[in-house]
Amino acid sequence: DIQMTQSPSSLSASVGDRLTISCRASQSVTNFLNWYQQKPGKAPRLLIYSATTLQSGVPSRFSGSGSGTDFILTINSLQPEDFATYYCQQNADIPLTFGGGTKVEIK
Partner 1 sequence: EVQLWESGGAFVQPGGSLRLSCAASGFAFRNYAMTWVRQPPGKGLEWVSSIGPKSLATYYADSVKGRCTVSRDDSKNTFYMDLSSLRDDDTAVYYCARASSLVGSTPTYFFDYWGQGNLVTVAS
Tell me if 68 contacts partner 1 by CB under 8 A. Answer: no
Q: What would the x/- binding string for partner 1 be over residues 40 to 59, using CB under 8 A?
A: ---xxxx--xx----x----
Q: Least CB distance from residue 97 to partner 1, whole Å? A: 7
Strand partners of residue 62: 75
Residue 10's alpha-carbon distances to 22, 32, 42, 54, 103, in angstroms, are: 11, 24, 19, 23, 4
Q: What would the x/- binding string for partner 1 be over residues 4 to 43, using CB under 8 A?
A: ----------------------------x-x-x-x----x
Q: How far apart are CA 66 and CA 69, in angstroms?
A: 8
For strand 85-90 and strand 97-98, is the pairing parallel, antiparallel, or unpaired?
A: antiparallel
Q: Does 71 bind partner 1 (CB under 8 A)?
A: no
- Identify which of 66, 25, 62, 26 has the alpha carbon closest to the alpha carbon of residue 46: 62
Kindly list the residues in this chain that would bind partner 1 in the complex (CB under 8 A): 32, 34, 36, 38, 43-46, 49-50, 55, 87, 89, 91-92, 94-101
